Amino acid sequence: MNDLKDLLELALSDAPGPDERADPAGDLARGRRLLHRRRLTALAGVTAAVLCGVLVPLTLGGSGPSAANHPAAAASSHAQPSHAQPSRPRSGTATPDKQSAQIKLVAWVGTQPPGYRVSWMPKGWVVQGSTPYALVMAPPSAADKNPDVYIRKLVVMLQSRDATAPPAEWASQPVNGRPGKFDVQGDTQILTFQIAGGQWVVVQAPVSLGWDRAELAKFASGVQVLVAAQQGRG
C-alpha cells in the first residue's frame, strides 16, 4: 500500500462511524444559543460603555474630560496597589477594578526548582511540583494535588520540542526585550516568550489569578532557564 489516502480510508474502515442521519436541529439550536449570547455580550458592552460615559463624569463632579486633574480622580488612581501596573505609565487614568482581586506577586523564597531560577511567585501559593520539565505552583487549598495536571495552576516550562513558534495571531507581549506572544484560552492565560539562545518558554496562568498581560510578563521576566531544564514532547 503506497497511498496515504488509502491509509486514511483504512483508519476509518472499522471506526465507529457518525450517525448517518444528519439532523440539523441540534446544530441549529446550538448556533442560535451562541448567536444570542454574542448579541447579549455585545449589548452589555455597549451598555457598560454608555453608562461609564455618563456615570463616571457625574461621579467625578461632572467635570468631563478635565476630571483627570480633579483631586478625587487623582486620589482614586493612586489608590491602586503599587505593583499593579509596573510597566505602564501612570497618566491619571483609573486602573480596572479587577486589580483589587489580583493575587500579588511576591519575591520567591525557598529552594529554587531544578532547571529554573524564579524571582517571583503568587502570594500565598506553593510549589506543587518541580522537575526539569515543568515548575508547577498552586494555592495550598488546590483540590488537585497532582503536579502533572496543570488546570488552574501556574506552570513554567520549555516549549515542547514538537511545537513550532506560537501562532502569529496571538497578541505581542515582549519579555525582557525579547519576542513574546500572549493568548487567553478559556480560563487559562498563556505567555510564550523567547530567551537568549532562541528557546521558547511557556508560562500558563489561570485567569483566576487576576493578572493582566503586564503582570504575567513581570512574572515571566523573573524566570531564568538553566541547562538542567528539558523540553517535553508532543
Partner 1 sequence: MPRSSRDEEFSAFVRAKRTGLVRSACLLTAGDTHLAEDLVQTALARLYVAWPKVRRARTESAYVWRIIVNAHIDEVRRPGRRRERHVPELPELPAPPEAFPDGLGGGEVRAALAALPPGMRAAVVLRHWLDLSVEETAELLNCSEGTVKSQTAKAAARLRVLLSPAVVERTHP
How near is the Cβ of 152 to partner 1 at its closest, in Å? 9
How near is the Cβ of 200 to partner 1 at its closest, in Å? 13
How near is the Cβ of 134 to partner 1 at its closest, in Å? 7
Give the position of cell 531560577.
117
Contact code string over 197-226 relative to partner 1, x by CB under 8 A: -------x----------------------
* H runs (alpha helix) in 60-131: 71-78
How near is the Cβ of 179 to partner 1 at its closest, in Å? 17
Task: Mention every residue, 6+ apart, whose C-beta is less than 8 A from residue 124.
Answer: 103, 139, 140
Q: Please, what sign has the CA dihedral across residues 195, 178, 83, 48?
A: negative
**Residue from 65, 197, 198, 234 that binds partner 1 (CB under 8 A)?**
234
Question: What is residue 211's three-state secondary structure?
Answer: coil
Determine, following the binding rule CB under 8 A, whether residue 233 of this chain makes contact with partner 1.
yes
Q: How far is CA 127 from the centre of its chain?
A: 19
CA distance 138 to 117: 17
Half-sphere exposure of 203 (CA within 13 A, CB side): 29
Determine, following the binding rule CB under 8 A, whether residue 30 of this chain makes contact with partner 1.
yes
Cα–Cα nearest to 43, from 35, 54, 33: 35
Contact code string over 105-134 relative to partner 1, x by CB under 8 A: --------------------------x-xx
Cα–Cα nearest to 173, from 122, 117, 204, 216: 216
What are the C-alpha distances in Å from 222 to residues 108, 205, 219? 10, 15, 6
Q: Which is nearer to partner 1, 160 or 176 (CB)?
A: 160
Task: Please report, as residue ranges, which positions from 134 to 193 form the binding site for partner 1 (by CB under 8 A).
Answer: 134, 148-151, 153, 155, 160, 162-164, 167-169, 185-186, 188
User: Using CB under 8 A, which of the segments 10-18, 69-77, 82-90, 121-129 binds partner 1?
Assistant: 10-18
Determine, following the binding rule CB under 8 A, whether residue 227 of this chain makes contact with partner 1.
no
Residues lying near partner 1 in the complex (CB under 8 A): 1-2, 4-8, 10-20, 22, 24, 26-28, 30-35, 38, 131, 133-134, 148-151, 153, 155, 160, 162-164, 167-169, 185-186, 188, 204, 230, 232-234
